[in-house]
Structure 1
């Protein structure tokens, strides 16, 4: 007989602690809170990403999958993870739709095993310009199957609601990301005037070139750009093109909380080029600091940061925006950050799964 205890599995990510991105950050900070209200939380992890494979992390069970969670292997990673957790839990939450082809099978097996199936559809992956036309069509099919076959759908930004199928809107719920886990340094370090910071994946849709050109045309004296420069041809080309610009520091990804906090505390501006994909966790985290936030103008960023940020649509607009706001006061953001706490996000997931009302 199946164990009817309250047990949740989150599958489809690299795992915890965070070594990759938004889903992993959510799990690192919210899964331990969720675990306090249920019998067990299991997070499946990409075994290749962790030397330390301890079974428990902050009260959360870790299950290691011998397949990479990103790239083409993610399709099979999700299937493997699903099969491993299915007999062990009452609820499965799939983060992302890269395993969307399996969702009809997932739903059938969940029905047989009386397991609740949910999906977080992420950021409309099928619209991302970095993918080929064929891959976008495949991802759109995966997204369709995931929505149709899930008991509940999570979307992370109100601007994503139009991309939820009309027939599925009644089972969709808005749940964003948390940012209150960020480290604040005390005493607060001095801010470097006329300095800017960006932290993102190095992809065309993150407006990397626009950010750099806008900064170079402005009065800023230094720009630290943290990203995975060596992971793609595009990243290597961008780094090579601007390698002689003395005002720019190119940094590899940073996951150390102390080093990230020092960067965020000491730069006057945060430049954010995210243009597709819903709520960006890095932008949410920056709302908890005191930088001037300048965002590429799109519905996703406006839904996330609202009047707490200023917006641009070109490198020329960005340079003008920088020059006219150097030395000015930071916009108030208290009305926004209350929506992005770990306790609130964890509670939203518990409500979505009907563990609390």
Structure 2
């Protein structure tokens, strides 16, 4: 007791399951970085630690803004991600962490033992029903499904980034999840960086995605190959797989289709997105896709593959297609008034639901900070 009042004990909060911060890789890393930025800007009382891969951060900085950084000498992606997450979990327990935010389910097989060894409160973002993705086969699919089950059963709280994911968790496991999406306003909070080297057409639609079958890349390209008067700029990691290389070769000769390699510079992406007429979103899996909520902030009409995740994210106010024929029809019947109306809807939803301030407030309220 001090000055007649009980002293408040700080809770040690750790974030693990990402490559690290500052973000270099993907959605979870961007989430972790923006949680740290909010923690720093808000001068929150409880200290925060982020686990990072020393393979990706060889300089091993000791802190980032208000967060302390701890390093694990393993790769955070690929097969090693399982061991990486497990080592991070046991390290967090050894260091007497009070609250553990686990991003993803790779290391969740260790949660039963973690619960026996520690009283730490475990909050897990289960990601986007990873085991259902077409790229996982055999034992990998079975492992991810089992890990998901362990995450839901042995976490104190689970987070779903999309209402459709929360419905799945409730129906499958009888557990209620907290729905917290991603922010996308960081895509606007940078200076534009011109990309004159790409020789962009004056008018174009844009799509940014990983080049995977579940993102319906071929469906989108097939539609635009039939739309000679409408250009498409598609940005993705074409050379990482045989699928990507094959599809790129197939459509490289289409004069109205420009296929660019992955762009990680937000300034360049802002330049591309802000000048586009439309945003094409072919994702069919993964819950709330960060690339979609980023695009919505630009106030462009979104044409999205018709699945419950995309409908939930856009509150049914995007325009939807199920095949290349429907996408062709949507574009051919698009007029300026419709495009502007859909674009305004997307921007309104993004500002109301998908800013990092809102997302971080929801996370830290759940973490008890």
Please report the TM-score for the alignment, with normalisation by the length of structure 2.
0.87
CA distance in structure 2 between the partners assigned to 1:210 and 1:146 by the alignment: 34
The Cα offsets for residues 163-211 of structure 1, whole Å up to 9 and x where unpaired, read as 215596555211111112222678999x965401111111110001011
CA distance in structure 2 between the partners assigned to 1:222 and 1:241 by the alignment: 17
Q: Residue in 2 aligned with 1:43?
A: 50
What is the Cα-based RMSD across aligned positions, in Å? 2.4
What 5-or-longer segments of structure 2 have no aligned partner? 1-7, 195-199
SS at match of 1:103: helix
**Contact 1:195–1:220 under 8 Å retained in 2:** no
SS at match of 2:185: coil
CA distance in structure 2 between the partners assigned to 1:192 and 1:139 by the alignment: 43
CA distance in structure 1 between the partners assigned to 2:37 and 2:12 by the alignment: 13
Q: CA deviation at 1:143?
A: 0.4
CA distance in structure 2 between the partners assigned to 1:130 and 1:220 by the alignment: 34
CA distance in structure 1 between the partners assigned to 2:257 and 2:172 by the alignment: 48
Q: Residue in 1 aligned with 2:158?
A: 153
Do residues 95 (structure 1) and 103 (structure 2) align? yes
Do residues 262 (structure 1) and 275 (structure 2) align? no
SS at match of 1:261: helix
Distance 1:309 1:130, change over 3 A: same
Distance 1:345 1:187, change over 3 A: closer
Distance 1:186 1:72, change over 3 A: closer
Q: After superposition, where does 1:275-354 map in structure 2 within 5 Å?
A: 275-325=284-334, 327-328=336-337, 329-330=339-340, 331=342, 332-333=344-345, 334-337=347-350, 338-354=352-368
Q: Residue in 2 aligned with 1:32?
A: 37
The Cα offsets for residues 116-138 of structure 1, whole Å up to 9 and x where unpaired, read as 11110000011111111432222
SS at match of 1:311: strand
Q: How many residues align?
A: 349
**Contact 1:7–1:38 under 8 Å retained in 2:** no
Q: Residue in 2 aligned with 1:127?
A: 132
Q: Residue in 2 aligned with 1:238?
A: 247
CA distance in structure 2 between the partners assigned to 1:219 and 1:327 by the alignment: 19
CA distance in structure 1 between the partners assigned to 2:229 and 2:287 by the alignment: 29
Q: Residue in 2 aligned with 1:198?
A: 207
Please report the TM-score for the alignment, with normalisation by the length of structure 1.
0.90
SS at match of 1:225: strand
The Cα offsets for residues 311-347 of structure 1, whole Å up to 9 and x where unpaired, read as 1000111111112115444222254121111111111
Q: Residue in 2 aligned with 1:212?
A: 221
CA distance in structure 1 between the partners assigned to 2:281 and 2:45 by the alignment: 37
| Correspondence for 1:181 among 166, 181, 186 | 186
